[in-house]
Amino acid sequence: MIPLRPETIHTDRLALLPLQVEHAGEMATVLSDPGLHTFIGGTPDTAQDLRAHYERLTAGSPRPGESWCNWVIQLRDAACLTGYVQATVTADDHGAAAEIAWVVGTPWQRRGIATEATQGLIAWLRKHSVHTVIAHIHPNHQASAAVATAAGLTPTGQWHDGETRWQLATN
């Protein structure tokens, strides 16, 4: 199953499209609000920086047994991009484990987009032998905790870089 390659995932309102370098221009606008970085650190990328970043991501992980799977989130009716989801999938003796993350641009927040995209992502991972899904979430990040809860993850007692590890066993 490794390397795992992202495929288009359809949910009720969304298409999760495998990331392409060409998405960088539109995504630079979607991700332009500095407020998106409150809990995840950093600052918004320019279109040029994002293009270079997407080139690295789409080239894939240099580590054997690890897959970088990235999608942009398209709101189908509006035919526009609204954010992204990602999964770093690592093979092990039982199949694979995935660390996931989600970001939705400020104008599209609070419409259930992150929840719907994350649920679609986890359903796809489940179909590809991923037995454990994890996410690291800042303890004050209510929106991300709500997304994780709606996707079936629960907080563990483990911490990493000031964030709580959330986990879901998918089988």
Q: Which residues bind ligand COA (CB under 6 A)?
A: 36, 39-40, 101-104, 109-115, 135, 137, 141-144, 146-147, 150
Q: For residues 90 and 93, what is the distance between their CA atoms, to the nearest angstrom?
A: 10
Least separation in angstroms between residue 107's CB and ligand COA is 10
Least separation in angstroms between residue 111's CB and ligand COA is 5
Least separation in angstroms between residue 89's CB and ligand COA is 16
Q: Please name the helix (run of DSSP H) or strand (run of DSSP E) that holds residue 119, with its range, or none.
A: helix 113-127
For ligand COA, give the closer residue by CB, 33 or 66.
33
Q: Hey, which residues does 67 pair with through a beta bridge?
A: 89
For ligand COA, give the closer residue by CB, 2 or 143.
143
Q: For residues 131 and 21, what is the distance between their CA atoms, to the nearest angstrom?
A: 30
The pair of structure tokens assigned to 128 is 């590809």
Q: Hey, which residues does 5 pair with through a beta bridge?
A: none
Least separation in angstroms between residue 93's CB and ligand COA is 27
